[in-house]
Amino acid sequence: MQDNQKDSIFANPLDKVATFSFDDQVVQVFPDMIKRSVPGYSNMIGMTGVIARRYWQPGTRVYDLGCSLGASTLSVCHQIDDPNLEIIALDNSEAMIERCERVFAQEALNSDGSARNIQLECADICEYPIENASVVVLNFTFQFLPLESRLPLLEKIVAGLAPGGVLVLSEKVRFEQADKQDTLFDLQLDFKRANGYSDLEISQKRAALENFLQAESFETHQQRFDQAGFAHNCVWFQYLNFASMLAIKAR
Ligand code: GEK
């Protein structure tokens, strides 16, 4: 299997567009797909490591929830050059985990060439325990969870975070004001066109994600952060209809 191919999954007309799934076909094109579809992806990934460096507390863990091919974990490793740093990276797609294992074997290394302390697990983030964490990363994963699982997951994260710990949550967002929603949504389509996706690819991908990716507004996220028990939260990045937020547990 060849990795890191150009994404052309939706390039040809399909009789029936199936619901999107993180399978082998997606894994092969994933880095190209996410960079060409998500405005600001590289900025949010790069800054995830910088945020982790500020909030990580020695003796605690970093969790990367929905790690895909490990981009956020690698960003954290790049910024925190400490062999004692323990990262737990989870994804429930076996295809992602299999490929991610190979990425970490090549790229997640200490300066002496030994493997970084990363536990990679094929697991559902809603089921997996979160304990002794100071940094929890949810980069573009929360949006795929059923709505009713979202508050319980945040409550579990708050309970598993040390005082002063942080959640980084990056997502597609929607806007409550219709004109803002339309403007930024249309511009994201232009972003995808500018990155070489055809209108057919865009519309078939959209059909595949219908009801699978459920974006929410800043207001909904903020209310849920409060309800889950975070002390405060902020939006630290927005590029069109994608954004990244921080939610911080009280000291
Ligand atoms: C990155 N963070 O490169 N449990 C575990 N994993 C899940 C679940 C779940 N319940 N639901 C979805 N996933 C990465 C990108 S991709 C974003 C994250 C995207 C996993 C799913 O298998 C996929 O690998 C990942 O979440 C979402 O920054 O494709 O837009």
Best of 10, 30, 44, 91 for a ligand 1 pocket test (most atoms within 8 Å of beta carbon): 91
Q: How remote is the CA of residue 36 from the centroid of ligand 1, in Å? A: 16
| pLDDT digit string, tens, across residues 123-160 | 999 999 999 999 999 999 999 999 999 999 999 999 99
Global pTM reads 0.95
Q: Which two tokens stand for residue 105?
A: 């074997």
**Using CA positions, which residue lies closest to atom 25 of ligand 1?**
66
Query: How close are the terminal C-alpha atoms of the chain, in Å?
Result: 48
**Using CA positions, which residue lies closest to atom 22 of ligand 1?**
93
| pLDDT digit string, tens, across residues 17-33 | 778 788 888 898 999 99
- Spatial distance between the Cα atoms of 214 and 197, rounded to a whole number of angstroms: 22
Count Cβ atoms below 10 Å from residue 175 Cβ, excluding itself.
17
Asked whether the beta carbons of 119 and 193 are under 8 A apart, the reply is no
Q: How remote is the CA of residue 68 from the centroid of ligand 1, in Å? A: 5
| pLDDT digit string, tens, across residues 214-235 | 999 999 999 999 999 999 999 9
Q: How remote is the CA of residue 96 from the centroid of ligand 1, in Å? A: 9
Could you tell me the domains of the chain? 17-132 (3.40.50.150), 171-251 (no CATH)
Per-residue b or e along 71-82, where b marks 16 or more CB atoms closer than 10 Å to that residue's CB: bbbbbbbebbee
SS (H, E, C) 32-48: HHHHHHCCCHHHHHHHH
